[in-house]
Chain A
Amino acid sequence: MSSTTLRPASPLPWLAGTLAGLAVWVALYSQLVPFSDWAVSLLPVDPASHLGQSLAFFLYDTPKVLLLLTLVVFAMGVVRSFFSPERTRALLAGRREGVGNAMAASLGIVTPFCSCSAVPLFIGFVSAGVPLGVTFSFLIAAPMVNEVALGLLFALLGWKVALTYLVFGLGIAIAAGWVIGKLKLESWLEPWVLKIHAGTAELPEVTVTWPDRIRTGLDSVKEIVGRVWYWIIAGIAVGALIHGYAPEELLASIMGKDAWWSVPAAVLVGIPMYSNAAGIIPVVEALLGKGAALGTVLAFMMSVIALSLPEMIILRKVLSVKLIAVFVGVVATGILAVGFLFNLLFA
């Protein structure tokens, strides 16, 4: 860079600030149980009553989820400052199927891009020589393994469930992309897409410093938590109602693992729904507590966040209806498989 560049700020205040922030976070988190006990004891209702149980659920979950989400989104923001779609594309260009699918799916989780970038990104990848199936692995993994969902699952259901979700989400993205690649559906792209030749404009090399990365993390907290907090509170409120009032036998019989049809039903209901992972997972937690099967609720959650109608409408610009149908079919099949498998594993 030329002499116009400002003297780089010392990273020390930023790092110290981050450490202080983490210390405050830990202190707050350690007070969750005493805080909610104290808040519940102030309530003028019997803790054993339906209302008392609902309120206790709400008062404990709300601060917990918001705290954990803030941490996860911050960490994800910092991680994402190491990746860019342009670099990812260069890494994936010309990759063979198989390894390429696995790499694409993993990069799909950490590479930041906003949903309105899906089409330019798709074109940019395909026209730069990233195989179609590999591109799909990337595009499926990005929403499928959602950092908000991951953080909430970890917060509410523990690391085992979060890790299983991560592994199987990746698995679906890899397998679905691989299948789409094997089907050789390039001719089902909208014809103009294949005619595009992507330019190779080299972006200027920018040095990203640690203060920049921390700032990126804080920005994503502001943006993502700022956008989803009311979904979370609404979701926890619904979850609290279910927790306090829903009759257990009824839910267990509809969403329990004895009802085999509940997994496909959950996927079918989930596809046209467009909601936020943030609002759905607290509901999932409450349903699980009432005897719903984990595979069923996860299949529901995955189909809601990974297969959304608005995204398909956006992708329609570059994909033929047939190709979109294959995409939905392959991903839905993967989700079904995961749902059944979870119900077996977490019996």
Chain B
Amino acid sequence: MRHLLSAADLSREEAITILDTAATMAATQSRAIKKLPALRGLTVVNLFFEDSTRTRISFEAAAKRLSADVINFAAKGSSVSKGESLKDTAQTLQAMGADAVVIRHSASGAPHRLATSGWIDAPVVNAGDGMHQHPTQALLDAFTMRRHLMPEAGTGAGLDGKRVVIVGDVLHSRVARSNVDLLHTLGAEVTLVAPPTLLPIGASTWPCRISYDLDTTIAEQAPDAIMMLRVQRERMSSAGGGFFPSAAEYSRRYGLDAARFEALPGHALIMHPGPMNRGLEISARAADSDRSTIVEQVGNGVAVRMAVLYLVLAGNEGTPS
């Protein structure tokens, strides 16, 4: 794997290799000494043009557990705020010896440009770009689902036949796009539920079902996992696009309240990429239930990102034990 730019680029075999590698990585994290020597002497640059402390720390922890050196580059207060271009910034970091670049950017496609424009040679890992993709988030979500929903399957398993419902602001969500692509590749059946204003015009061609009605979807699909997306309250106002009339209406129609939580199958996982708006898209009862994997997803993120960094930087040398 040269780069990780989009979940859509991953074959089933590649995706399962990452999940299996992540399982190996996760197993090492219960040891007294968590650090592996796999990337010793290599430098990973976290190039964050957009604030995301959680994702940056997760990548930083992953790189350090593999013994890589880490340089964190935040656009705020940097030369970028003085007008330096992505190209110049990338080339500066390359000159400083970056072996891999983890990039977060508000512009969709920025990681793709970085990887394909000849500006740098290093592998590029997409840590979230605009409304496009967040492939490591989708991988950690799939990793979490596989652990809970396919506990006996072991390595090599996908998510065949599992039903996943993703609810909320699909239009602006790189998490939703990535999950649709990856879960489909892994054999799961995905249903997107959102008000029509928060679904992209072209979503009808995606490999998933589309619904505007959460109650009907829960009743008909009996999902194995339900993933609630973060809703930004400013999207209500006309300045923010006026995508829905009010928080109350959104919550009534699309929130995972107590009644909907009760209507889910007993084994269904409650997922959220975080940070949550409690009381808007998800109730405290659902978020704090024993079926919620929301905190576990964060922990699994480190193992998945260890796997990705390992595979783009040292993947040809086999999986570490």
Decide whether A and B assemble into one complex: no
A residues in contact (CB < 8 Å) with B = none
